Structures are given as C-alpha cells and as structure tokens.
Structure 1
C-alpha cells in the first residue's frame, strides 16, 4: 500500500512563477525570499498533516526551519473535484495537492564564498514522518549591477 508521499520539491523565484530555479542571483540584499513548490500524493481528507521545511548550508549548518499545517477538508475536496461526499470519504479516493512554501533566507556575510543550500521537507502525521524529500539551490552575486 502506498502511503502519503511527496511527489516533487523545487525552489522557484516567486510564488507566481512555475518553473524550477537552481541559481538565485542577488545584489547586496541580506534577506532573500525563497519559494518552494511541492506536490503531495495520496493525501487523505480530514487529516491534519505537518510540513516541516529546513534549509542547510553546504557545511550542513541549519539556517531556517519552518512548520506549517496541510489540511484538506472533505468539503474542499468535493468542491474542487466535483464528486460526491461518499466517493471522497472512501478509502480508495486519491487526492493530489500542490503547495507553495515560503522561507526567508538571511545571509550573514558578504557573497565572497560559494553559497550552496539543501532544502529538506518532511511530511508528517501525528508526529510521525511519512515521507522526506530534498533539493538543492545556489545563491550568487548579481553580475552587472547592484540590486
């Protein structure tokens, strides 16, 4: 039996962008918002999942940690999928969810060294981790101007 899974995870430039980004170019900013698109498979309705996101630098030092909930009600599923309550409540109903997660990365020094990062996301239910996924991105100085 397939339990709930993280289908994909990738960093992107903004909440509205659709494609993955592997390198972010910045000027002298000390804070940079990083968005992540994540997809979840086999999510069950009326369960309160927890999404925990952590960002590590290349020395494996933790920099950012966030927690938030992922909850899909039966009514939301019925309205989105246009199917009956009975089908949504059945054990065979499969629901796929896309979610946008935002973290703010605070840069603590000038961009004079490589900035490579790893993002790890955990999908949990009742304090038990169901699935984990990770992805990588880099931050480099903006070439040809200041921001």
Structure 2
C-alpha cells in the first residue's frame, strides 16, 4: 500500500465519527419519542460554555418534577450562541424525558433533530465516498 492511501483514512475516520454521532442522536430521539414522558419545565439558568475559538454557547438548564415526585434539573446537550425570548430564564417549556433516566431529555423547540440528521448524512457521504474510492483503486490496480 502506497503512502497516498493513508490519506484516505482521514475522511474515512471523520465520516465514521460523524455517522456514529448522528446515529446515536437519532436513536436517542427515537427512544424518547417511544418511551418518553412529557412534563412542564422552567428554564432556571443557562450554562455558558466556550469553545476553543472563544465562541460562547448557552445551554438552558430545565427544572421539572417527574411523575414519581423527583425534582429534576439538567442542562440541555445543545447550546446556541443566542437565547431567544421563548427560552430565557423563567420561561416555561415542555420537556420529554426518559422516566428511568431523567437526565436523558429534550426541550421541545430547542433540541433539534436537524443536527443529528446532518451529522448522519455527512458521515454517510464521507464514509461511503471514501470506501467507494478505495474499492475502485483496489480493483483497478
């Protein structure tokens, strides 16, 4: 195998990681739709997180009472650069959570399936494209 072939591992690795992240998110959302319970929650604060480039992302922290009486307060896995009025501190939102593990939840209107779908599509394109190129190269040697 020539050295150039090693460079094909880069898009293959990126594609596999993107695909894994996307499929995980879509499966998680599907499980929440299947077994999830809805509750009214209140946004109590925003966790501000900075990335390596200095951009700040705000993750709303939702608080609600589960059906069994437990008080739950968790931060969303998705952050945005700007928080709209509908998701400001004190706003009431609907959450869908797993009754067995309430830390697995989604805020309706905030946690979007689009991100997981985008990662799945991009990951599939990178992976299938790279494997196709590798197979063509192997068969035409």
Whether the TM-score (by the shorter chain) exceeds 0.5 is: no
In terms of fraction of residues, the more strand-rich structure is 1
Range of TM-score over shorter length: under 0.3
In terms of fraction of residues, the more helix-rich structure is 2
Q: State the structure with more CA Rg.
A: 2
TM-score computed with the length of structure 1 as normaliser: 0.25
TM-score computed with the length of structure 2 as normaliser: 0.26
